[in-house]
Structures are given as structure tokens and as C-alpha cells.
Amino acid sequence: MRRRPFDLRRSARRRWSSKGWAWLVVGGLGVLLFLIVLSREKQPRSVPSFPQKSYRSSLTEGHNITDEMLSAHSFTRQLVDQISLAKAFVVISKESNNLQFAAELSAQIRYSQVLLSRAATRGTPLTAEEVETAIHDMALLLYQAQQFHYDGATMMMKMKGQIQALEERMKSETEKSTQYGQIAAEEIPKSLYCLGVSLTMEWFKNSNLHRKLSEGKHTLEKLRDNSLYHYCIFSDNILAASVVVNSTAINSKHPDQIVFHLVTDEVNYPPMKAWFSMNSFRGATVEVQKFEDFSWLNASYVPVLKQLQNTDTQNFYFSGGGDGKTPIKFRNPKYLSMLNHLRFYIPEVFPALQKVVFLDDDVIVQKDLTELFTINLNGNVMGAVETCMETFHRFHKYLNYSHPLIRAHFDPDACGWAFGMNVIDLRVWRRKNVTGIYHHWQERNADHTLWKLGSLPPGLLAFYGLIETLDPKWHVLGLGYTNVDLSAIRNGAVLHYNGNMKPWLKIGMEKYKVLWDKYVDYSHPLLHRCFMH
């Protein structure tokens, strides 16, 4: 059979007809595009409220970054993954003292970050042409890192070592911070020192103050009158004690029926006497004593004083000795101060009184406290606000439950309570011999194995089973170390600045200082001279 000859004309006709269709499609698209542009030009243009798009809007109106990061084929995701791995290698190479390689990695990381930043700014995904070189160069560096044996296992070991080193450093810095904070809390501010010196000079040169004191001897009857409202404060801080007295008197409905019993030490006795003789607190009576005058307060009766004569105790708490594991806050000599432990001798200090309200010197009073004297303690010795929430501030947080004596006598989950504002029935105290119980446990803790130090742990033991729980509104704690709920502050009767950040110190929390400053009259000549200059 003969083949049909090749027909050039038929082939050419087919080729020209396909080209014609192509031109028709292109032309149609062009007309459609022209119509769209023309219709947009006829629409009114809105004036933007800002001259340019914000970064956020460009991201929102552009590509979806979340989708792009989740895509296995996303160039953005590849770059981010490479950067994360490269950052880890930078750390390891620096640890290995390979500084040149670390510098090369860091430079490549910066270049990749620039590409990501450009894409985010313009709102469009990265293209293959943009990232090809960056991904290739970074891949070479990461491969080179593997040749340095920066493999996964090695990296994990080195990172683990680095984390441990950082943890040790953090622990060291935390201990330093605690130590410096403790030192700051213990130091006497220049202003308070100035006030003490000025008042001492005033006491010895101003005979009028002594005359006022002798004229006030008729108040002796008030000091023993159990129909009045008696408060006791043990303090060596003149200004802090003044704030407690002033805030209580200002917020009392019957300040003339208030009697304050203030006990201090021999050094602060003259300035305390001077200050409370010079100032009137709405008719409230203020008695100032010094504990050195108490003849019964001696080493044969008081375990803490006996322990202070022990050389090991002196070295541990005053020379920084010991096992080195005891937190610095427990090695603060103030915990051995007699002013801190006088709270266990209130019946001896005030033998004529039947009921008192004990106040720390780092509190302010916002409400009338008269109602405290009528609260039924149900046969208990002391009314106190409990501090336990879940496992916090329960007995096991304060006491050594590995010791058989503690384990045998006290429930580890028993709820702790707070010193600082306590109503005390001294008649029941004497009957229950609480001071004797306190002595019992102090003597057994001579080696500091039952608890470290402070007045709260022995208080938990001495008053175990003898505490009546008060409504939390009576005593709000935490203003000297943490954030406190504003409603609790607003409704609280007594606000307690427990912690290192006392309101009279520079490290005090500013937002709570204003509450304390309300009861300080800085216009007083002595205060103005010491605090405003």
C-alpha cells in the first residue's frame, strides 16, 4: 500500500488555528482586566485614618503565618527550625571555645532573621529564590557542627551541664539577694538614728518633759484598771511604735479609754520617754518601760538568756558559724532579742492585768479594736488569725518532724497562726501555765534540732490546743513581702508589714507605704529635720 505523501498545507492550517485561539484568550483576559481597573477607578477612595498600614494589619491581611508555619513545605518553617538548632550550636561552640564557628553561625542566624523580617513586613510568603542560598548556607554550617561532634547526645549532655551550672548560679544569687535584703532590713536607717539621737538630747536637756512625766503619775490607776482597753507593744523602734499608738487612737471610738504598755530596751528608753511625753495621742495613756528593770528576767529563769551564755550559740548566731546550711534569716541575732521573746512573759510583765491585745510594732490599725476585748475565747488563752492554706503554714513547715519529740506530740497538719495582733486572756494563761510550757520546749531545743529560731515555732508549741481562731479581717498579713488582696486591705482591722520590706525602710513596698505614712506627722520639727533633709 502506498503511503500518503506528507501534506505541508494541512499541518500549517492546524498550527495557525491554535495560535488564533491563544490570541483570542489573551485578548479576552486583557479586556476583562481593563474593565476591572476601570470599575475600581470609578469607586470612591476612602481616606485611611493612618498614613501607612500597621505591622499587625499587614500580617493579618497578608498570608496566614500560622498555616505557613504548620506546613511541612514552608520555607519560613525551614528557616525557623534551622535558626533554633543553630542557636543551640552557638552556645555549645562557645562552651567548646570554638569562637570562630560561633561567629559564623551567629552571622548566618542574623541573615535568616532578616529574611523572615522582610517577609513579615511585606505580608507575603518567602519564595524559593529568596531562601535557597540562606537555607543552603545554614545547612552547610549545621553539617559542619556535626563534624565537630555536636551531635544530639553530646549537645544534651552539654546543655544539661550548662543548666546545672545556671541553677547553681541562680541559687548563689538568690542567697546573696536574701543576705543583702536581710542586711538592709537589719540596718537602722539614718533618719531613725537621727530621731533617736535628737530625742535623747531633748530628754536630758528639757526639764519640762520630766515635769510632764511626774504630773502624769495620777495615771497609775489607769495602768491597772481592767475596765479599760489595754494594749502592749515590745519595740526598739520609736517611729514604728508611735505609728501603732497613733493609728489605734485615731481609729478608736473611745481613745481616752485606751492604755498602751510599751516596753523597750535601755538604749531606746530615753528617746521613747521623750517622744511619748512630747506628743498627745487623742488622750490615750502611754506607759514606757525598759525590760532591764525586770528583776525576774535573768538566765536562771529565761532559757533564751541562758542559751546566749553558751559559746556555740554565740558563734552560730553572731559569728556566722554553724553547719552553713541554715538560712541566713534564721541566723539573725534579732531572733534572740529579749524584745522578741517578751511575748511569752506578758503575765509577768503586767501582773495586774486580766486581758490585753498584743500588737507588733510593724502594724497599723485601721478599725476600732474595742470589739476584740468582748470576743469569747471559749476557755482558750489566745485569739489569733490562722495562716494555713492547703499545706502552707502548717506545723510541718516550722518544726522538725524527723525529731521524735515533735512527731510524738504535734499534728504535722495542724494549722499555723500569726503573732502580731493577738487578744490574750491572762487569767487562763496563768492557770494553764503557758510560760512554763514555753520554757519546757525552749530547754529541749538548746541544740536547735526541734526548730531553727524565732518566736513563732515555740509559740506554736506553747499555745498548742489553746488558740481561738479569729476572723481573718482582724489581722491581714503580708504587706512586707508579697502582694495582698485589695479588698482584704480595705476591710482589714490590723495590717501587718511582716517580712523584710518594712514601710520605714527604702526597700519597703511603695504601694503599701502610703498606708503607713498616713499616721506619721512629718511636719513635726524633729521628724522634718531627720526625714526631710
Nearest to 229 by CA among 247, 262, 256: 256
261-311 per-position pLDDT tens digit: 999 999 999 999 999 999 989 999 999 999 999 999 999 999 988 887 777
> For the whole model, what pTM was predicted?
0.67
| Stretch (H or E) spanning 68 | helix 65-70
Of the pLDDT bands very low, low, confident and very high (cuts 50, 70, 90), residue 75 is confident
484-509 per-position pLDDT tens digit: 999 999 999 999 999 889 999 988 99
Over residues 241-258, the mean pLDDT reads 97
Phi and psi for 221 in degrees, rounded to 5?
-65, -35
pLDDT given at position 349? 97
pLDDT given at position 309? 75
Q: What are the distances in angstroms from CA 424 to CA 248, 365, 373, 465?
A: 18, 18, 9, 14
pLDDT given at position 129? 85
CB 93 within 8 A of CB 148: yes
Span of 81-95, 286-300, 420-434 with lowest mean pLDDT:
81-95
pLDDT given at position 6? 41
Of the pLDDT bands very low, low, confident and very high (cuts 50, 70, 90), residue 182 is low
What residues contact residue 147 under an 8 Å CB cut-off, 6+ apart? none
CB 496 within 8 A of CB 387: no
- Chain centroid, CA 80 distance in Å: 37
Highest mean pLDDT, choosing among 177-181, 306-310, 312-316, 385-389: 385-389
Q: What percent of the chain has pLDDT over 90?
A: 50
Of the pLDDT bands very low, low, confident and very high (cuts 50, 70, 90), residue 332 is low
pLDDT given at position 59? 35
Entry field: residues in the chain: 533
Cell numbers at 524, concatenated: 513635726
Most distant CA pair in the chain: distance in Å?
151
Over residues 246-267, the mean pLDDT reads 96
Q: Look up cell 541562758; give the residue.
A: 306
Over residues 469-478, the mean pLDDT reads 96
Span of 112-126, 314-328, 493-507 with lowest mean pLDDT:
314-328
Over residues 463-491, the mean pLDDT reads 95
- Chain centroid, CA 454 distance in Å: 21
CB 284 within 8 A of CB 249: yes
Span of 186-190, 367-371, 446-450 with lowest mean pLDDT:
186-190
pLDDT given at position 117? 86
- Whether residue 43 is predicted with pLDDT greater than 90 in this model: the reply is no
Position with higher pLDDT, 128 vs 316: 128
pLDDT given at position 316? 63
Of the pLDDT bands very low, low, confident and very high (cuts 50, 70, 90), residue 419 is very high
Return mean pLDDT, the chain. 81
CB 326 within 8 A of CB 344: no
Of the pLDDT bands very low, low, confident and very high (cuts 50, 70, 90), residue 458 is very high
Of the pLDDT bands very low, low, confident and very high (cuts 50, 70, 90), residue 98 is confident
- Whether residue 184 is predicted with pLDDT greater than 80 in this model: the reply is no
Give the integer Cα–Cα distance in Å for 200 and 19.
112
363-415 per-position pLDDT tens digit: 999 999 999 999 999 999 999 999 987 556 899 999 999 999 999 999 999 99
pLDDT given at position 213? 60
Highest mean pLDDT, choosing among 242-246, 309-313, 480-484: 242-246
Of the pLDDT bands very low, low, confident and very high (cuts 50, 70, 90), residue 235 is very high
507-520 per-position pLDDT tens digit: 899 999 999 999 99
Give the integer Cα–Cα distance in Å for 275 and 294.
22
pLDDT given at position 131? 86
What residues contact residue 130 under an 8 Å CB cut-off, 6+ apart? 75, 115, 119
User: Within 265-403, where are the H helices?
Assistant: 269-278, 303-308, 311-318, 338-341, 346-349
Over residues 154-162, the mean pLDDT reads 68
Over residues 52-56, the mean pLDDT reads 36
